[in-house]
Amino acid sequence: MEVFSEYILCFILFCIGLYCVLRRRNIIKIVIGLGIIEYAVNLFFVLVGYKEHGRAPILAKGQVVSPMVDPIPQALVLTSIVIGLAITALIVAIAVRIFEKYGTFDITKIRRLKG
């Protein structure tokens, strides 16, 4: 069995991000954890398209055609990065307003909704 070291690295990165979201108490650290989760998934998606001895999938004028890596995951990851940017912007804006209303960034003190 081959050692899929790059996929295991992505999985470790995903778990680190998930740990951040679950166990940190500061709101900004939770947002950073979410960012790490998104990085891990995007990296995994790009690595899926790797081919042995492939080059970057760009064709210029007068270049000899040789094996390339898969370009579809790169286009999909571009879309996913844009979506991640929009979500991060929205969550940071909400976090700034939460700080204004509650006065703290500690998530254990922001618990008015219960039950």
Partner 1 sequence: MKNPEKGMTVIVKTITRLTVGLILLYGIYIVLHGHVSPGGGFAGGVIIALSFIHLMLAFGKEVALKKLSLAAASILESLGAIMFLTIALLGFIGGYFFLNFFPHKGEPFELFSAGIIPICNIAICLKVGAGLFAIFAVLILFRGKDENGSL
Partner 2 sequence: MILPFFVVIPLGAAFLISIFGKRIKNFGDILANLGTLSLLAVSLYSIKLVSVHKILVYKIGGWVPPIGICLVLDGLTSFMLVTVSLVSFLVSIYSINYMERYTDKHRFYTLFMLMLAGMNGIIVTGDLFNLFVFLEIASIASYALVAFGTEAEELEASFKYAIMGSVASSFILLGIALLYSFTSTLNMADISRVLSAKPPGMLVNFIAVMFLAGFGLKAALVPFHAWLPDAHPSAPASISAMLSGILIKTLGVYALVRVLFNILGITQGYLTVLMFLGALSLIVAVILALSQWDLKRLLAYHSISQIGYVVLGIGLGTPLGILGGLFHLFNHSVFKSLLFLNSGAIDYAAGTRDLKETGGLAKIMPVTYKTNLVASMSIAGIPPFNGFFSKLIIIIACIEKGHIGYGICAVIGSILTLASFMKVQKYAFGGELKERFRNIKEVPVMMRLSMLILAAICVLGGFMLLPHLKPFLQSAVDVLLSGNGYKDAVFGALK
With a CB cutoff of 8 Å and minimum separation 6, the contacts of 44 are 7, 10, 11, 14
Judged by CB under 8 A, the chain residues 11 through 50 that form the site for partner 1 are none
Q: How far is the CB of 56 from partner 1 (least distance, A)?
A: 8
HEC string for 41-84: HHHHHHHHCCCCCCECCCCCCCCCCCCECCCHHHHHHHHHHHHH
| CA pair distance 63, 23, nearest whole angstrom | 51
User: Would you say 15 or 81 has its CB closer to partner 1?
Assistant: 81
User: Would you say 15 or 83 has its CB closer to partner 1?
Assistant: 83
| CA pair distance 67, 55, nearest whole angstrom | 7
Q: How far is the CB of 49 from partner 2 (least distance, A)?
A: 8
| CA pair distance 46, 71, nearest whole angstrom | 9
From the list 13-21, 37-45, 92-100, 105-113, the region that binds partner 1 by CB under 8 A is 92-100
Residue 60 in contact with partner 1, rule: CB under 8 A = yes
Q: How far is the CB of 4 from partner 1 (least distance, A)?
A: 27
Q: Name the site residues for partner 2 (rule: CB under 8 A).
A: 14, 18, 21, 27, 30, 34, 37-38, 41, 44-45, 48, 72-73, 76, 79-80, 83, 86-87, 90-91, 94-95, 97-98, 101-102, 110-113, 115
